[in-house]
Amino acid sequence: MTTPACVIGASGYTGGELLRLLAMHPHVEVVLATSREYAGKPISYVHFNLRGFYRNLRFSQLSLDEVTDKCEVVFLAVPHGVSLEIVPKLYETGLRILDLSADFRLKNPEDYKRWYGREHPYPDLLEKAVYGLPELHRDEIRGARLVAVPGCNATAGIFAAAPVVREKLVDLDHLVIDVKVGSSEAGSKPNPGDHHPERENAIRPYSASGHRHVAEVEQELSRLAGRPVRVAFVPHAVSAIRGALATLHAWLVEGVDEARVWRAYAAMYGRERFVRIVRSGLLRYPDPKYVIGTNFVDVGFAVEKRIGRMAGFAAIDNLVRGAAGQAIQSMNIMMGWDEATGLYYPPLKPA
């Protein structure tokens, strides 16, 4: 007996990644995969990696009735704004919804307005939606019907900063998060900035005057700190396909030393199956290279005693932990399954 699932927006990178991961999930069968552009085509027409998988499934046009009839779990891998049109209708039917867009991530409607430029039309749903970062919201996810899966840059940033922010070990008024991220983050649609000759070898800041993901980061860090927290947040496009590294730069509160920081990371992540603390071996700090293809988050930190500062690091695969994998982890929790079901396997090296 498997649970029937639907992927709405299945032809993009996030949609493809959901299909890849769900192909390995023992309790789920994907029965619908929608795509406006490729309706009627086999899955492998677009997702070359999936040749030999999903032989009996083709992309179809979205029909909400069909979704409701056939599925128990729905993943939305659609652009921001599109979920706003779909989620409210699906929510009423009682389906389990995992929305990978940004539409339901911010709890405060005013934050939504500031960052997305319009009033949120469903503030009640904002309230019901759970921010789907399992290590922070496991209990709420358990009972949720709507999970808003975090953004990739936000996920990395939160993981890097959470332990020391929660325990107020650092100056909360001067937090910097500098993110480096691969090209798949921008999606599968060709565009000038991601044209190979322009994107390869790039080390290129973007959205440097204010990236939307900072709203999620500030929301979560503020909640952890119990006070408003603002973050100087700048993402950089670097030369990789997958992977995101967040570097937290912070000043230590008087008296906090390396051992104290270590305890904070260990206290928060020591028992988490998908979080690995990097402290020794030939590689001393996290590098997304060694989590590619998986749901792992590698975290670590460094302290410079001389000037009382620290750097915190979190490395993820932006399409897995930053999107599809984190969604499936949340689904596992919602469905009462082991949280790691279908997700626990080692990354590649070299990758």
When the beta carbons of 167 and 317 are compared against its own copies, the nearer one is 317
CB of 351 to its own copies, least distance (A): 7
Q: Which is nearer to its own copies, 26 or 336 (CB)?
A: 26
Minimum CB separation from its own copies for residue 234, in Å? 5
Q: Considering the complex, state which of residue 86 and residue 234 has its C-beta at the smaller distance from its own copies.
A: 234
- How far apart are CB 218 and its own copies at their closest, in Å? 9
Q: Select from 232, 229, 234 the least CA-distant residue to 204.
A: 234
Shortest distance, position 235 Cβ to its own copies, whole Å: 10
d(CA 104, CA 263): 33
Residue number, 164 or 292, with CB nearest to its own copies: 292
Residue 97 tokens, joined: 């919804």
Between the alpha carbon of residue 65 and those of residues 71, 228, 249, 256, the distances in Å are 10, 42, 49, 57
Q: What's the angle, vertex CA 331, arms to CA 328 and CA 334, rounded to 5? A: 160
CA distance 114 to 327: 26
Catalytic residue list contains 152: yes
52 conformational bin, left if phi > 0, alpha if psi -120 to 50, beta if neither = left
**Main-chain phi, psi angles of 111, to 5 degrees:** -60, -45
Q: Which of 21, 152, 156, 297 is catalytic?
A: 152
Active site residues: 152
